[in-house]
Amino acid sequence: MRKLKLDELNRASISEFKEQEKLPIVVVLDNVRSMHNVGSVFRTCDGFAVEKICLCGITGQPPHREIEKTALGATQSVNWSYYADALQAVEELRKDGYTIIAIEQAEKSIMLNEFKTEPGKKYALIFGNEVNGVSDDVMKNIDACIEIPQFGTKHSFNIVVSAGIVLWDFFNKLVV
C-alpha cells in the first residue's frame, strides 16, 4: 500500500471551502483555556466542514501563534466569531434556529450513540472549559445534553478528542 502525496488529496482551496456546503453545525467553545485545543478544534471543524465556531469568554482568538501551531491554517477556512460570554452566543444561535446542545456529563444527558438527529435541523454543539466544563448559566439554557460513553477510570476526554468524536458521529448521522 502506498500513502497518498499531498497533491493527490484533492484538497479544496480556501475559497472553494468557503463556497461548499457545510455541515449544519456551529461549534461553541465556552472558556477553553488552551490555545492548542482551540487550534485543534479549528482543524477538526475544517475537516468536517462545520459552518462556524463561536469563541467565548477566555477562549483564545486568531491570530495567535499557539492557535496556528495546531490549526495549520484552518483559522483562514473556518468562519468564527467572538462573544464575551457563551450565553450571548447561545441566545443568538437560538434566534437563528439552532438546537442548543451541551457536550457534558449531566443529569438526564443522552448518550451520543442514542441521540437522534433530525433532517433539516441545525445544531449548536457547546464544548466547555477543560476543568469546569460547560458554564452553569449555559447549562440552564440548552435544549439537550449529550454525553460520550466512557468505560475507563478517568471519565474525561480532552476537548479536542470530544469534538472529534461528536463531530464524526453527527457527520455520520446527517450526511452518510
pLDDT surpasses 80 at 46:
yes
User: For 118-136, what is the mean pLDDT?
Assistant: 97
| pTM of the shown model | 0.97
**Side-chain half-sphere of 36: how many Cα atoms within 13 Å?**
3
What separation in angstroms does the CA of 42 have from each of 1, 2, 60, 61?
A: 30, 29, 12, 11
Contact 124, 103 (CB under 8 A): no
Write out pLDDT tens, residues 141-156: 999 999 999 999 998 9
Report how far residue 83's alpha carbon sits from residue 22's, in angstroms, rounded to the nearest whole number. Answer: 22
pLDDT surpasses 80 at 176:
no
Report how far residue 152's alpha carbon sits from residue 139's, in angstroms, rounded to the nearest whole number. Answer: 25
User: For 38-51, what is the mean pLDDT?
Assistant: 98
pLDDT surpasses 80 at 43:
yes
Write out pLDDT tens, residues 75-102: 999 999 999 999 999 999 999 999 999 9
What residues does each domain of the chain span? 20-174
Query: Average pLDDT, whole number, for the chain?
Result: 97
CATH of 20-174, one of 3.60.20.40, 2.60.40.420, 2.40.50.140, 3.40.1280.10: 3.40.1280.10
> Around Cβ 120, how many Cβ atoms within 10 Å?
7
Report how far residue 89's alpha carbon sits from residue 84's, in angstroms, rounded to the nearest whole number. Answer: 9
